[in-house]
Amino acid sequence: MSKELKKYIAEFIGTAILVLFGCGTAVITGGDVVPTALAFGLAIVAAAYAIGDISGCHVNPAVSLAMFINKKLKGAEFCGYVCAQILGALGGALLLWAILALCGVDKATSGLGANSFIVDNTGGMWASILVEIILTFVFVYTILGVTSDKNKAHIAGLVIGLTLTFVHLLGIGWTGTSVNPARSLAPAILLGGTALSQVWVFLVAPLIGGALAAYTFRLLNKK
């Protein structure tokens, strides 16, 4: 098996874990902030130490975009990572849907952990965009900082997971917290309706936040 294929399979598995456990916890707790934030954060910690040595454990197109901007990924690799992440997110969301269906819970009733605007109007749309850009900037900038120093490699997974928990604590009550286009796209595709019509915000805003983090990191760390 080629090194590239191993990376893509690792990204698929990592993203599936993130969506299944993060969105699944949101569903079974009714979106309770602390358990959901911890589930997303701990999923990243687990994935980081499981697949970090294989793919770097991006499991997020916004992270991969930042790595591409900072020349840590080539164009073909970036496309492969994003495709694997989207497919992994769909796999995780489908597993969650199947489990709920076996329990007699309708996908629309559960919500599948989908994101939504703070308020369903134009102001809420712009507020949601701003929130997601800020949250993603903080998350991705932290990743770039902790992974840029080899001396921090042993704690990188823990720091990244705690930071994802941190941004979820603020964002869950507003947008459900995306900071990850793949994580948002998968539930929206399965649900359709409002979730699908609003998902563009949770695709675009995290990518903007990730790009801003990458360019800011380059500017401040330029020697």
Question: How far is residue 213's CA from residue 191's CA, in Å, rounded to a whole number?
Answer: 31
* Mean pLDDT confidence for 35-51: 97
In sequence order, what are the residues at sequence separation of 6 or more whose Cβ sits closer than 8 angstroms to the Cβ of residue 85? 11, 12, 15, 58, 59, 60, 61, 64, 182
> How confident is the model at residue 63, as a pLDDT?
98
In sequence order, what are the residues at sequence separation of 6 or more whose Cβ sits closer than 8 angstroms to the Cβ of residue 158? 45, 48
Which tens digit of pLDDT belongs to each residue from 61-87? Answer: 999 999 999 999 999 999 999 999 999
> How confident is the model at residue 188, as a pLDDT?
98
> How confident is the model at residue 199, as a pLDDT?
98
pLDDT band per the 50, 70, 90 thresholds, residue 152: confident
Residue 49, domain CATH: 1.20.1080.10
> How confident is the model at residue 169, as a pLDDT?
98
Q: What mean pLDDT value characterizes the chain?
A: 97
Question: How far is residue 107's CA from residue 193's CA, in Å, rounded to a whole number?
Answer: 12
Domain assignment of residue 169, given as a range = 3-220
> At residue 165, what is the residue type?
T
CB atoms within 10 A of CB 9: 16
The domain total for the chain is 1
Which tens digit of pLDDT belongs to each residue from 48-64? Answer: 999 999 999 999 999 99
* Mean pLDDT confidence for 14-20: 98
Distance of CA 97 to the CA centre of its chain: 19
> How confident is the model at residue 223, as a pLDDT?
66
